[in-house]
Structure 1
Amino acid sequence: MSLKIYNSQSRQSEEFVPYDPKHVKMYVCGPTVYNFLHVGNFRGPVVFNMVRNWLEHLGYKVSYALNFTDVDDKIIAKANAEGMAPGELSELYIKEYKHDFASLGLRPHDMNPKVTEHMDDILSMVGTLIDKKVAYEAQGDVLYSIETFKDYGKLSGRHTDELLAGARVEVDEKKRSPMDFALWKAAKPGEISWPSPWGPGRPGWHIECSAMIKNIFGDQIDIHGGGMDLIFPHHENEIAQSEGCTGKHFVKYWMHNNMLNFGGQKMSKSLGNIVSLREFVTMYNAEIYKWMIQSVHYRTMSEFGDAAVERAISGLARVYSSLAMAESYLTPEVTQVDAGFAKITEDAWKKVEAAMNDDFGTPEVFATMFEVVRQFNNQVRRGMKANPAIQGKALAFTQFIKKMGAVMAMFQEPAHDFLIKLDNMLLDKAGIKRADVDAVVAERGQARANKDFAKSDELRNKLVAMNISVSDTPEGSFWEVTK
């Protein structure tokens, strides 16, 4: 089955056929770097990391660029407020972004172009657009003339007549049409600027991506990604600029990830529900974040309230508990998978491939994974005596989870260690010390050894009240926080 991708421009799933049959060029709009990035900013990097991994699994070479917008009104305003140079501020937050990105265990991009490193490319492109008479200079600004691009609106579905009808009546004398947008902005007093044929200034936001893409990849790319909030005006204007410059079709497949939703409300600064990724990962865990992002389809709104966190913890615990049990049966000598369980995982992998090839259907992948977990738990239980059949099932199960997880940058941690981390996080939130739980479990073990079942039951009830589940095996009692 060939890969199908939902193209935001055609509004339908299309068979993926890149310009070069072996090499995919992919560009994703990255952050404007003036602060710590919030949990919503990292949905795209997680999603497109998965997309790149799957394309590579299908045998493509992928060149993947994610940019940094390191000159912008917000950067200038924040730098002035902090008493820093804009470049100093943006470099600080690029470093912080890379720290957060690494904390998610995502593979680095092939390229992270910065706007300030591509000023010559931006000036060249703006000059070409003027030469082609699709842009014009006005009092030190350079503006793109919307009426010269007949296809304007083909991505967003917003057409110039409607946009003009809805435009505010504020007249900017420099503009020939209210919908014309800035390619180059004349410098304001005290503002960072670069020399240009039209006077000192700095680029408009939209031209930056068009120029960086043209410099890195040429006139055409296969996949352009970003959040749905960028469809208009940013990506619409990119199309106008790039196609106005080259006369060629710019992007073959536009992919847009949806937003995050906090307790029924879209995340926004005005509502005060902005959470930085740094805060989230410190409070919870990177695996929890990646579960929340990838257990729903990338084009679906992702719920990010307490209930969604609890679902992620419960799901992770289920998978990692089975992984920990499987790993407990494995030794370096175990190299032969069990034929029966290998058939289960082979059939499951076909379902994973079908789901991923249908516009990256990760919810179906998670459902398939849970079915494999259920079958493994039915056949292998904690405390069973190790034998080649059980070890072969454990090996086949582990290989399947790790292979599936590698696509999503998940399930690669040693399972036993991860479960302890998860339990410690939940114990901390409940204000319970691990040593106190260990003491009650040990006391209960002694009561059971003494056949004092009344005391044993009393201590079990005490553990249940602490939200602790205890399993008794021939090797002793095993406990975890109930999830």
Structure 2
Amino acid sequence: MLPIVQVFNNLHRAKEELKPMTPGQIKFYSCGPTTYDFLHVGNARALVVGDLIHRIFKALGYQVTFVRNFTDVDDKIIDRAHELKVDPLVHSQKYVDECLKDMDSLNMLPATHTPKVSDTMPEIIAMIEDLIKNGYGYVVNGEVLYNVPKFTEYGKLSKKDLESLQHGIRVEVDQHKHHPSDFVLWKPAKAGEPSWESPWGKGRPGWHIECSAMSKKFLGKTFDLHHGGVDLMFPHHENEIAQSEAANQCEFVHAWVHNEFLNFGSEKMSKSLGNVVTIRKFVETYGGKILRQLLASVHYRSKLDWNEEVIERAISDVERIHDFYLKFEKQGIGTLKVDTKEIEGVVAKMKEELANDFNTPGALSHFFSTIRFYNREFKDQAPSPEIHQMIQEIIEFTSLATGLVHHDAHATLEEARTARGIIAGKGGDNDQSVQIEALIIERREARANKNWAAADKVRDQLKALGVVVKDNPDGTATWSYEK
């Protein structure tokens, strides 16, 4: 029997059981990026949270249909393309490709479907026709608008009253609107902009209708779960609900989950505020595995402050995981048997945490307990086949559910050491990182052999390189540059 998953459903502002429409299957949509520029690490949080939800359902045994779109037709894309004097669709495709590279660097599983707006025009036009037919859309000079007051449940997600709403929509208020809250479904064509034929003349869709049409195309009129950043709750997700339920005459989504902001200082990270660190720049500097660790180790509904401390903590966690994994692989299977009560049922405990509103920090706490157990009990001898298999299963589950165990442990540790050097202002010298790691291993072996003089000599060599070594109670050692 599959675990029951509890999610914090923002539609009701409460944690509740997610009841799949089809037992054992999850249909899930996550709002993807607008591809007009390189993505920043704030965008990465939404991407990684979507990937974690995908991974967690798979790890819990569910069959998942996961749709994450690319918005490749949008005002921002057109404006940037005009600045650069390039075709907007060519420009957006360039950044779709760059986004895919960033996703790969973050160890993200491929989504089941990754539709683009430009490939979904027949479905968008058909949905707008349904809205007009049902009395929720109206045409003014080739522009189609949504009649917000007619949808009496408007505001049920954002909990906003219609008359007091602040209209953060992407287009200027049109004097021909029936109500100030009405939003655009179809825009008339303008010179230099991509456009498509429609019953209302050539034009292109508004922002909100795009996701309604793409989700319906691949998931149907009603599906289980919709995810996005908390900044999308209004107006985007509110408008998705209004469109989809008015067009399809049925419930749109059973549960809505939203990840919190990544904060830079006291403000959320965004291009418009100018406080941007791109995914590409961070990965080139510190590595994608560090960024994923940073983003995945905090609960998705908690705000995450961006600072040097959280980067250092992520580096330490990556080192801790992969020092253990490297040792586990190197030691292999032996004969040592110990009391395994401490790690019995770890996978079941991790599943329980993950089924509780995708609690990755809680699940990782059990994984780190396993690491402490292994480092304490198997300093010099390898575990028996039974214990080795038990730990192997914990590693494999953690890898699938979180994407935080990387099988190229040597390369991962080198990436982490380089990142540590950079953040300490040492420039991330790869040769020096390799030298330091070799000395750390040499000192660990000397200590294991109780050759204290040799261990002290290596410590002095490390000190000369500006490295401080901290010996942990479980027999491991971590290092950092002197500040």
TM-score category (smaller protein): 0.7 to 0.9
Within-5 A mapping of 1:41-440 = 41-163=43-165, 172-269=174-271, 271-330=273-332, 338=337, 340-341=339-340, 343-381=341-379, 384=380, 386=381, 389=384, 393-427=387-421, 429-431=425-427, 433-434=431-432, 437=435
C-alpha distance in 2 between matches for 1:179 and 1:455: 75
Label 1:400 to 1:177 Cα distance change in 2 as closer, same or farther (>3 A): same
Per the TM alignment, residue 407 of structure 1 is displaced from its structure 2 partner at its CA by 0.8
Letter in 2 for 1:35: D
The answer as to whether partners of 2:347 and 2:397 remain within 8 angstroms in 1 is no
Per the TM alignment, residue 439 of structure 1 is displaced from its structure 2 partner at its CA by 12
Letter in 2 for 1:202: R
The answer as to whether partners of 2:259 and 2:300 remain within 8 angstroms in 1 is yes
Larger deviation, residues 59-68 vs 258-267: 258-267
The alignment partner of 1:422 has SS state of helix
Per the TM alignment, residue 370 of structure 1 is displaced from its structure 2 partner at its CA by 2.0
C-alpha distance in 2 between matches for 1:103 and 1:82: 27
Label 1:56 to 1:171 Cα distance change in 2 as closer, same or farther (>3 A): closer
The answer as to whether partners of 1:26 and 1:62 remain within 8 angstroms in 2 is yes
Larger deviation, residues 354-363 vs 420-429: 420-429
C-alpha distance in 1 between matches for 2:168 and 2:122: 36
C-alpha distance in 1 between matches for 2:204 and 2:4: 44
Letter in 1 for 2:176: K
After superposition, the C-alpha distances for 1:151-182 in whole angstroms (9 at most, x for unaligned) are 00000001212228999xx9732101111000
Letter in 2 for 1:347: G
What residue in structure 1 maps to residue 449 of structure 2?
none
Segments of 5+ residues of structure 1 without an aligned counterpart are 473-477
Label 1:460 to 1:440 Cα distance change in 2 as closer, same or farther (>3 A): farther
What residue in structure 2 maps to residue 468 of structure 1?
467
Larger deviation, residues 58-67 vs 264-273: 264-273
After superposition, the C-alpha distances for 1:390-417 in whole angstroms (9 at most, x for unaligned) are x754553343133212211111223344
After superposition, the C-alpha distances for 1:258-297 in whole angstroms (9 at most, x for unaligned) are 1101244321335532111111111112221111111111
After superposition, the C-alpha distances for 1:435-467 in whole angstroms (9 at most, x for unaligned) are 89469959x99xx9xxxx999857734522534
Segments of 5+ residues of structure 2 without an aligned counterpart are 447-451
C-alpha distance in 2 between matches for 1:131 and 1:158: 27
Letter in 2 for 1:285: G
Letter in 2 for 1:463: L
Per the TM alignment, residue 479 of structure 1 is displaced from its structure 2 partner at its CA by 8.6
Label 1:457 to 1:120 Cα distance change in 2 as closer, same or farther (>3 A): closer
The alignment partner of 1:206 has SS state of helix
Q: Identity percentage over the alignment?
A: 38
Which of 30, 33, 53 pairs up with 2:32?
A: 30
- Compute the TM-score of the two structures, normalised by the length of structure 2: 0.87
The answer as to whether partners of 2:289 and 2:412 remain within 8 angstroms in 1 is no
Per the TM alignment, residue 388 of structure 1 is displaced from its structure 2 partner at its CA by 5.2
Per the TM alignment, residue 54 of structure 1 is displaced from its structure 2 partner at its CA by 2.0
Per the TM alignment, residue 387 of structure 1 is displaced from its structure 2 partner at its CA by 5.2
C-alpha distance in 2 between matches for 1:236 and 1:358: 26
Larger deviation, residues 318-327 vs 74-83: 318-327
Per the TM alignment, residue 113 of structure 1 is displaced from its structure 2 partner at its CA by 0.7
Per the TM alignment, residue 329 of structure 1 is displaced from its structure 2 partner at its CA by 0.7
C-alpha distance in 2 between matches for 1:243 and 1:482: 55
C-alpha distance in 2 between matches for 1:71 and 1:165: 21
After superposition, the C-alpha distances for 1:90-118 in whole angstroms (9 at most, x for unaligned) are 11111111111111221111111111111
- How many residues matched? 462
The alignment partner of 2:26 has SS state of strand
C-alpha distance in 2 between matches for 1:195 and 1:279: 40
The alignment partner of 1:482 has SS state of strand
Letter in 1 for 2:237: H
The answer as to whether partners of 1:326 and 1:395 remain within 8 angstroms in 2 is no
Letter in 2 for 1:466: L
C-alpha distance in 2 between matches for 1:238 and 1:246: 12
C-alpha distance in 1 between matches for 2:373 and 2:296: 23
What residue in structure 2 maps to residue 475 of structure 1?
none
- Compute the TM-score of the two structures, normalised by the length of structure 1: 0.87
Label 1:435 to 1:22 Cα distance change in 2 as closer, same or farther (>3 A): closer
The alignment partner of 1:5 has SS state of strand
After superposition, the C-alpha distances for 1:25-51 in whole angstroms (9 at most, x for unaligned) are 111111111111111112222112221
Letter in 2 for 1:77: D
Letter in 1 for 2:73: V
The answer as to whether partners of 1:351 and 1:365 remain within 8 angstroms in 2 is yes
Label 1:119 to 1:344 Cα distance change in 2 as closer, same or farther (>3 A): same
Label 1:123 to 1:408 Cα distance change in 2 as closer, same or farther (>3 A): same
The answer as to whether partners of 1:406 and 1:412 remain within 8 angstroms in 2 is no
After superposition, the C-alpha distances for 1:174-210 in whole angstroms (9 at most, x for unaligned) are 1011110000111223322212221221100001111
Label 1:56 to 1:161 Cα distance change in 2 as closer, same or farther (>3 A): same
Larger deviation, residues 364-373 vs 302-311: 364-373
Label 1:271 to 1:115 Cα distance change in 2 as closer, same or farther (>3 A): closer
